[in-house]
A and B are shown apart, each in its own frame.
Chain A
Amino acid sequence: MRRWGLGWGTLIAAGMLAVAVLAVATAPLYAPQDPFNLASLRLLDSLDPPSFLHGGVKKFPLGTDAQGRDLLSAILYGARLSFMVGGLAVVLAAVVGVPIGLAAGYAGGALDAVLMRLADAQLAIPSMLVALLADGVARSVLRRSLLEAASVPILVIAIGLARWPHFARVVRGVAQLEGGKDYIAAARLAGISWFDAALDHVLPNVIGPVLVMFALTLGFAVMDEATLSFLGVGLPPTRPSLGTLIRLGNDYLLSGEWWVVVFPALALAIPVLAANLLGDTIRDRLDPRGHGRQIAQGRA
């Protein structure tokens, strides 16, 4: 670990993230309850405090919410949804952004100018707002009866479309640099088509930066999902994500049932913080300008 110059903070963050992902992925194996199965909920159990407090029930380690849902189970299943939506959205952003960036950077010229102006124009508007507006468009277009069933795809598309320019920009830079090298020209002279050269020779060079971008974007995408769900335009109360849980818990803030907000909030904040810490480290290590030593030598 020391060899790579990584601090304890980074290691702890990576560990926490790994534990969170593992815990969430295997949740159905050990969660006390299926919180999406409305038949298993009893209103009599609603708003029980955590089991370690006075009046708590042993069955509900973190207490229950207003519907009588076991909060621990709701958090585990909610985090599954949050991580899934965030992950799929970043995949979509990459699927849209990488080909665009590749085409722009490798082809250059007018195509490059048009595509990158488009990316810049969208980047000027915060992605959360783009996602919210995309969500609004989807909600206006779809029938009301379809909305609840389609809430996951709507969110994935809204958040993914809001983030594609980040991928396009990174890929374009690499493709531009790599596309101008001699071996590409040699490959083209050897009779390899433009398309094959882009796919076989430029694309592999792009994979590393795309993976880094993927890691950096994941935390933000999860945050976007939570924000939209908190605003009430994300996942519905019947299948709550972490953001939905916090919104529902918000109604009980002033009446003293703090656990319905605090536990989901922690479950959201800790992984996102860990992801950002890791992203920060990765960026610093890849960007020589971020280093104290190299800075003293001036930048290229």
Chain B
Amino acid sequence: MILRLILLRLAQAVPVLLVVAALAFALGKFAGDPLTAALGPDATAAQRQAAAAELGLNASLPERYLRFVVRVAEGDFGFSTRLGAPVGQVIAERLPATLELAGVAFLVSLVIGIGGGAYTAVRRRARSTRLLMVGSLLGVSLPPFLTGTLLILLFAATLRLLPSFGRGEVVDVGGWTTGLLTAGGWRALVLPVTTLAIFQSSLLLRLVRAGVITAMASEYVRFARARGLSHGVVVRHALVNALVPVVAAASVQLGMLVAFSVVTETVFQWPGVGQLLVQSVAAADVPVIAAYLVLVALLFVAINLAADLLCLAIDPRLRGVRRGTAGLDAAGAGA
């Protein structure tokens, strides 16, 4: 059953990935003349002929597309026109910075979002709930680049407490540069993580709250109450059943995190993949944009699959459904 779902999902993902690859391939057509790029403007017609044959440029369009897909599958995205280095290498160098920032921010927003969402759903009339709701509305209304800018103004420019750009001191551990082993690295993480977490946890808090409120209103919770179970037990029942929409919300979060790390990395000059994308878009560095397109599509396929599997593990009722996304679709509509 679960294997079937995985296979079905992967089969569904293939056309999506092929379309994205086609888009990336078409984008390459606008990258300028590859022969001029390889040989320079002074090459003779004979040289161009030879190079075209060598690069496989004389083949038909479908054949070249197929070759492109194979190259991409092997991780070969060509050369960045802006940096003059292989795209794969450029991205790999920046990946640790992005993953550490996004990972820490994701954990922080999970804790705040789920805790706060459950709290505000259970204690709906409390003054602190109202405060949290107003705060979370502010959090989702302020675009992250604005929050980041204001945080820099306050903590870096005025109070001079924290660094406003870069990763601080990093240590190289087997090719992976990490800022998590030095005090300076952690200090550099504080502001960017806060920027991301304010937006993410606000959104998650609101989604979790809606999920828990819905669960609290269901028949079995009323029945549990009627049986005289203690408040704590009832809330625990509701929380477990609110988990499916929470997982769906968290997977949406992970996607948003990728998007907004682009912004945060630019604000804090964080040397990650997001900053690379913005620089590449500004400089029309087509091979990098194309690679990012493909990688983002892959990432979202992976996130959705993981979320589906997690939901199946949590909620046995979903296992009977032919498509395992019933709960996800319902929760996703509120996002």
Chain A residues close to B by CB (< 8 Å): 121, 123-126, 128-129, 132-133, 135-137, 139-141, 144, 169, 219, 223, 226-227, 230-233, 243, 246, 250, 253-254, 256, 258, 261-262, 265, 268-269, 272-273, 276-277, 280, 289, 292, 295-296, 298-299
Distance to closest chain A CB from B232 (angstroms): 20
> What CA separation (Å) do A246 and B266 show in the bound complex?
13
- The residue of chain A having its C-beta at the shortest distance from the C-beta of B329 within the complex is A120
Q: Is the CB of B16 within 8 A of A230?
A: no
Residues from chain A with Cβ under 8 Å of B218 in the complex: 298
> What CA separation (Å) do A230 and B267 show in the bound complex?
9
Q: Is the CB of B258 within 8 A of A256?
A: no
Residue from A136, A280, A289, A295 having most chain B Cβ neighbours under 10 A: A136
Q: Is the CB of B278 within 8 A of A232?
A: yes
Residues from chain A with Cβ under 8 Å of B216 in the complex: 295
Residues from chain A with Cβ under 8 Å of B219 in the complex: 298
Having A232-B278, A256-B157, one finds 20 other A-B pairs with CB under 8 Å, namely A126-B256, A126-B258, A126-B260, A136-B281, A169-B333, A227-B263, A230-B145, A231-B278, A232-B266, A232-B282, A233-B281, A246-B146, A253-B153, A253-B164, A258-B153, A268-B143, A269-B142, A276-B141, A289-B214, A298-B222
B247 beta carbon closer than 8 Å to chain A = no
Docked complex: B285-335 residues within 8 A CB-CB of A:
286, 289, 292-293, 296-297, 300, 304, 332-333
9 pairs, A vs B, C-beta closer than 8 Å: A128-B259, A129-B259, A223-B143, A227-B144, A230-B263, A256-B157, A265-B146, A269-B141, A277-B137
B27 beta carbon closer than 8 Å to chain A = yes
Docked complex: B105-144 residues within 8 A CB-CB of A:
124, 137-138, 140-144
Q: Is the CB of B217 within 8 A of A250?
A: no
Q: Is the CB of A121 within 8 A of B296?
A: no
Q: Is the CB of A133 within 8 A of B292?
A: yes
Residues from chain B with Cβ under 8 Å of A280 in the complex: 137
> What CA separation (Å) do A50 and B266 show in the bound complex?
28
> What CA separation (Å) do A100 and B7 show in the bound complex?
30
> What CA separation (Å) do A262 and B277 show in the bound complex?
27
- The residue of chain A having its C-beta at the shortest distance from the C-beta of B267 within the complex is A250
> Given A121, A256, A295, which contacts B213 in the complex, CB threshold below 8 Å?
A295
Residues from chain A with Cβ under 8 Å of B137 in the complex: 273, 276-277, 280
Residue from B149, B213, B222 having most chain A Cβ neighbours under 10 A: B149
> What CA separation (Å) do A296 and B216 show in the bound complex?
9
Q: Is the CB of B30 within 8 A of A227?
A: no
B43 beta carbon closer than 8 Å to chain A = no
Distance to closest chain B CB from A22 (angstroms): 21
B90 beta carbon closer than 8 Å to chain A = no
Residues from chain B with Cβ under 8 Å of A126 in the complex: 255-256, 258-260
Residues from chain A with Cβ under 8 Å of B300 in the complex: 124-125
Closest 6 CB pairs of A and B: A126-B259, A136-B281, A129-B259, A273-B141, A295-B217, A136-B289
> Given B124, B156, B260, which contacts A128 in the complex, CB threshold below 8 Å?
B260
> What CA separation (Å) do A128 and B300 show in the bound complex?
15
A253-B281 CB under 8 A given contacts A227-B263, A292-B124, A295-B217: no
> What CA separation (Å) do A243 and B266 show in the bound complex?
13
Distance to closest chain A CB from B252 (angstroms): 8
Residues from chain B with Cβ under 8 Å of A219 in the complex: 141
A233-B153 CB under 8 A given contacts A124-B300, A133-B289, A272-B141: no
> What CA separation (Å) do A129 and B304 show in the bound complex?
17
B280 beta carbon closer than 8 Å to chain A = yes
> What CA separation (Å) do A280 and B138 show in the bound complex?
12
A129-B278 CB under 8 A given contacts A140-B289, A227-B145, A276-B141: no
> Given A121, A273, A277, A299, which contacts B16 in the complex, CB threshold below 8 Å?
A121
Q: Is the CB of A136 within 8 A of B280?
A: yes
Residues from chain A with Cβ under 8 Å of B27 in the complex: 137, 140
Q: Is the CB of A262 within 8 A of B153?
A: yes
> Given A226, A256, A289, A292, which contacts B143 in the complex, CB threshold below 8 Å?
A226
Distance to closest chain B CB from A225 (angstroms): 10
Proximity bits, B252-281, A CB within 8 Å = 1, else 0: 000110111011001100000000011011
Residues from chain A with Cβ under 8 Å of B332 in the complex: 123
Q: Is the CB of A265 within 8 A of B150?
A: yes
B31 beta carbon closer than 8 Å to chain A = yes
B72 beta carbon closer than 8 Å to chain A = no
> What CA separation (Å) do A269 and B31 show in the bound complex?
38
A227-B143 CB under 8 A given contacts A124-B255, A133-B293, A273-B138: yes
B97 beta carbon closer than 8 Å to chain A = no
B95 beta carbon closer than 8 Å to chain A = no
Distance to closest chain B CB from A96 (angstroms): 18
Q: Is the CB of A125 within 8 A of B296?
A: yes
> What CA separation (Å) do A299 and B267 show in the bound complex?
44
